[in-house]
Amino acid sequence: MVKVAVLPGDGIGPEIMEGAMVVIKKVAQTFGIDFEFRYGEFGGTAYDSAGTPFPRETKKLVAESDAVLLGAVGGPKWDNLDRKLRPESALLELRKSLDLYCNLRPVKYYPILANKVAWKPSYLEGVDIVFLRELTGGAYFGEKGKTEDGAYDTISYTRDEIARLVQRGFELAQKRKKVLHSIDKANVLETSRLWREVVTHLNSKYPDVKVEHLYVDNAAFQLVINPQQFDVIVTENMFGDILSDQGAAIAGSLGMLPSASLGSRINLYEPAHGSAPDLAGQDKANPIATILSAALLLRFTCNREDAAQGVEKAVEKVLAAGYATGDIAGEGSKVVGTKEMAELIAQSI
């Protein structure tokens, strides 16, 4: 029995989650996986009903689960709240409480969406990149403050914090093309010099993996001019946040990008996009990022590579047949809504 805490969240969250559940329930039937799904409030809607974006009941639900499947949180409605009460603070607390130190974002090019990307198709043929971003350290979690005439955010890392993320990168690279790109700013930052030192040391334990070190500004440039060189990318929190969003353009839409936040026991799976309140309740949102996040749950929590690939191949089949939600639709596309897209993918498994 795999216990999954389902947190739909805000905006389009409930709709895309409903779509993902249609698919994952079909997977359960087809591949013989026993799930228990329990729902909880989280984010802005939780603040509205409970006065906090991460209620005690939801914390208990998460603690009793094997994995968390999250929709999206946030929206203009809650932007003026104190920082500790905003929906995004709940997400940071969830990541920190579960020690989810590794954010994994696959970015894949789908030829059927060639009209949605800025690159020439010849630049993107075969592009399949996995970003591994350190998720619990760096400037987002370092000491911060504001003075009368300034402000500061501290970047801080320990050797162990870097090593556990980078080790996952090496292990993943061994299963793929045996190429690892490590992104830093070692010409300026002490934390980056430590980062590069740790990567170089760990490389001796994985001699079959070729390591390339890139400064973050050059990495951003290389993602544009030659994305085909990349396979597995490891980097710190803020750099990973920026570069993985840049890489999202390769997929044609944020609505295509899943993510997994991995730790020691309970992992979190969520789409890379936001809550898109302007689309909420209109059956227009793209559920594919959430559906592919569910595929990552099958891969990393259930250890069912067959089921994960079943979902991923079903997505490719539906896209190749010309079906598309509005964000990825082009000339000749068969435009469908959130529910129909999910049902088509479920039927293709």
Residues catalogued as catalytic: 140, 185, 217, 241, 245
Cβ–Cβ under 8 Å, residues 83 and 20: no
Q: Which one-letter DSSP state was computed for residue 71?
A: E
Residue 216 has which token pair? 């973050």
Q: Which one-letter DSSP state was computed for residue 38?
A: E
Cβ–Cβ under 8 Å, residues 129 and 243: no
Q: Which parts of the chain are beta strand (E)?
A: 2-9, 35-39, 67-72, 102-108, 128-134, 144-147, 150-153, 179-184, 210-215, 232-235, 258-262, 267-271, 323-324, 334-335
Angle in degrees, CA 177, 178, 184, rounded to 5: 110
Distance CA 243, CA 331 (A): 29
- Number of Cβ within 10 Å of residue 157's Cβ equals 21
Cβ–Cβ under 8 Å, residues 223 and 243: yes
Query: Which of 265, 280, 321, 299 has its CA nearest to residue 17?
Result: 280
Residue 310 has which token pair? 């079943």
Q: Which one-letter DSSP state was computed for residue 142?
A: S
Residue 12 has which token pair? 């389009």
Distance CA 268, CA 135 (A): 12
Strand partners, 133: 103, 235
Please give the single-letter amino acid code of residue 27.
V
Distance CA 257, CA 239 (A): 18
